[in-house]
Amino acid sequence: MERIRFDFNNMLSANVGKRHGVAKDDLEKAFAGAEKAFGHFQRLIADVHNRTSLNLEWVRLPFKSRVMIDQVQRLGDEIASRYENVISLGIGGSYLGIKAAQDALCSPYHNEFASLRGKRPRIYFEGNNLDPDTIGALLGELDPKKTFVIVISKSGETTETKSAFAVTKSWLKKGVGKRFGRHVFAITDLRAGALRREVSEEHAKDPLGFYSLPLAKGVGGRYSELNIGLIHLAVMGVSVRHLLGGAQAMAARCVSKDLFENPALMYAVLNNILYRKKGKTIAVLMPFSETLKSTAEWYSQLLAESLGKKYHRRILRTADGSEFWLRDRSRIANVGRTPVPSRGTSDLHSIHQNNVEGENNKTVTFIKVKKFRRDIKVPAGNGFLSGVSYSKLLSLAGEATEWSLSSESRPNCAITMPEISPYYWGGLIYFFEMATAFEGELLNVNAFDQPGVEGYKHYMYYKLRKPGVSRALHKEIQKHPLAKDKKFVL
């Protein structure tokens, strides 16, 4: 079977020069650090206690039992057979992976054309913003009797999801009556949070209300597509078994300590060298495929929340090898490459100008696809384009982009998927998750928390008078209010 390939020729000094590329001696110097980072991560994930307490259980998500996979697939088929529409509510890690999977693995224009979606429902994403226009328009148009709602929130407390679910629930209640809970699937923590409480209350009233799947313990939102995303895939008729199979195949490649055998480790090491030694602080991800655009958006969150950290990690280790990670407040890090999701060829007519001639502070990663699901040719009579297939044009555009960047000493690399299928997409996202985890090790930050996201949430909770907001937080916000001087507002 063909494999996903990682081509890093254009990250090396041989192709982009020593000043901007990774030279042999850069790589040799990085070997020891890479080995240490890899060894540490392998020890961690070999231990179930560390996996769950440090949010590393995602590494095991591809290895689900056949029975469980069949159950999910059957449940998905059942939901699909009963509803015309699905609304998926969630934000961040409870949204981006699902949207990426939808775009990559279901037909383009899925919602628009019945012939393309087969017997599967239309899908709408809400709760990933607080824009009243979109949710208002959607609920104004859909028929609640024909609609199923999947609500996903690990914490069960996120304002965006909570508000969207509250609005959707009252719309369902009005439209279908007291059995509205049978139109709902809730994915949330097994015990904690407001959503879990709602599930328990609803079950008490109607045992058939609120289908629910407990989230696997020890998996952070952005690493959870192979967990929270499965029911969505099953409803859409995508093979969960193939998706997990692809992730398993990638997992097998990521256990090698040989950099030249482990694509995720090599990706992390090269990007780390380019970031720390060559000033490449911006990470552009440019799939040459329209349907992988939202995969680039998913990766943006993965990279930004995992590596963008204020403090380094301080590791405390007990005699039995259990680890506890603290934010080492004595060592400010302020690290992390800045992700820029992009897409070829659209963005060749937009940010590519800056990538080629602007500040040389970026690495560009392409995702290329060898074989598309369909292909079309430009008809005869169109000059030099006559008879040329779209896939040929796209692949040539990719090659041309590599050339234009490399000839201006701009490091770039390519990940090639043999095709966009559940198997290879599963492998692709596992590759990025592993690479990000390795980069976290190399930067010595906790790649599995997101404390920076809390600030805005706390401020909103304070302003909305949410019960339980600490006095310390009240004091801090009062001490540093948002200062606005009218003379600086034109």
From the list 148-156, 343-351, 383-391, 458-466, the region that binds ligand PA5 by CB under 6 A is 148-156
- Binding residues among 302-331 for ligand PA5 as defined by CB under 6 A: 305
The SS3 call for residue 282 is: strand
| For ligand PA5, the closer CB: 41 or 165 | 165
Catalytic residue among 257, 371, 457, 474: 457
| For ligand PA5, the closer CB: 168 or 406 | 168
From the list 87-95, 314-322, 347-355, 432-440, the region that binds ligand PA5 by CB under 6 A is 87-95
| For ligand PA5, the closer CB: 231 or 417 | 231
| For ligand PA5, the closer CB: 202 or 225 | 225
| For ligand PA5, the closer CB: 94 or 446 | 94
Q: How would DSSP label each residue in 330-359?
A: EEEEEE-PEEEE--TTGGGGTTHHHHHHS-
The yes or no reply on residue 450 touching ligand PA5 (CB under 6 A) is yes
DSSP 8-state code for residue 286: E
From the list 105-113, 214-222, 248-256, 266-274, the region that binds ligand PA5 by CB under 6 A is 214-222
Smallest gap from residue 160 Cβ to ligand PA5 (A): 8
DSSP 8-state code for residue 12: B
Residue positions counted in the chain? 490
Residue among 181, 209, 221, 246 that touches ligand PA5 (CB under 6 A)? 221
Residue type (1 letter), 240: V
242 is catalytic: no
Task: Give CA–CA dist 154/214, Å, rounded.
Answer: 9
- Partners of 125 in beta bridges: 88
Smallest gap from residue 99 Cβ to ligand PA5 (A): 13
Smallest gap from residue 419 Cβ to ligand PA5 (A): 29
Task: Give CA–CA dist 239/449, Å, rounded.
Answer: 30
For 392, the token pair is 């040929």
Residue among 21, 93, 121, 144 that touches ligand PA5 (CB under 6 A)? 93
| For ligand PA5, the closer CB: 306 or 401 | 306
Q: Per the omega criterion (within 30 degrees of 0), is the bond before 365 cis? A: no
The yes or no reply on residue 336 touching ligand PA5 (CB under 6 A) is no
User: Which residue number places its CB atom closest to ligand PA5?
Assistant: 221
For 63, the token pair is 């290895």
Smallest gap from residue 299 Cβ to ligand PA5 (A): 13
Q: Are the beta carbons of 59 and 45 closer than 8 angstroms?
A: yes
The yes or no reply on residue 155 touching ligand PA5 (CB under 6 A) is yes
| For ligand PA5, the closer CB: 153 or 227 | 153
| For ligand PA5, the closer CB: 273 or 447 | 447
349 is catalytic: yes
| For ligand PA5, the closer CB: 92 or 336 | 92
From the list 151-159, 239-247, 327-335, 420-428, the region that binds ligand PA5 by CB under 6 A is 151-159
Residue among 222, 278, 280, 337 that touches ligand PA5 (CB under 6 A)? 222
Q: Are the beta carbons of 291 and 104 closer than 8 angstroms?
A: yes
Smallest gap from residue 368 Cβ to ligand PA5 (A): 27
User: What is each CA distance from 79 to 76, 84, 110, 203, 388, in whole angstroms?
Assistant: 5, 9, 17, 19, 42
- Size of site (CB under 6 A) for ligand PA5: 15
From the list 88-96, 320-328, 385-393, 431-439, the region that binds ligand PA5 by CB under 6 A is 88-96
Task: Give CA–CA dist 413/410, Å, rounded.
Answer: 10
CA dihedral 461, 333, 314, 59 (to 10 degrees): 80
- Partners of 339 in beta bridges: 283
Smallest gap from residue 445 Cβ to ligand PA5 (A): 15
Task: Give CA–CA dist 319/322, Å, rounded.
Answer: 7
- Binding residues among 277-306 for ligand PA5 as defined by CB under 6 A: 305
Residue type (1 letter), 150: I
| For ligand PA5, the closer CB: 93 or 339 | 93
How distant is the alpha carbon of residue 227 from its chain centre? Answer: 12
Catalytic residue among 198, 202, 305, 433: 305
Residue among 20, 64, 120, 154 that touches ligand PA5 (CB under 6 A)? 154
Kind of pairing between the strands at 122-126 and 85-89? parallel
Neighbours of 5 (CB within 10 A): 13
Residue type (1 letter), 160: E
Q: Are the beta carbons of 300 and 38 closer than 8 angstroms?
A: no
Task: Give CA–CA dist 37/254, Å, rounded.
Answer: 13
From the list 17-25, 149-157, 347-355, 388-396, the region that binds ligand PA5 by CB under 6 A is 149-157
Catalytic residue among 349, 479, 484, 487: 349
What binding mask, one character per residue, do residues 408-427 give for ligand PA5 by CB under 6 A, x or -? --------------------
Helices 263-278 and 422-443 cross at an angle (nearest 10°) of: 40
**Per-residue b/e over 48-87, b at no fewer than 16 CB within 10 Å?**
eebbebbbbbbbbbbebeeeebeebbebbeebbeebebbb
The yes or no reply on residue 153 touching ligand PA5 (CB under 6 A) is yes
Question: Under the rule (CB under 6 A), what is the footprint of ligand PA5?
Answer: 91-94, 153-155, 158, 161, 220-222, 305, 450, 453
What are the catalytic residues? 305, 349, 457
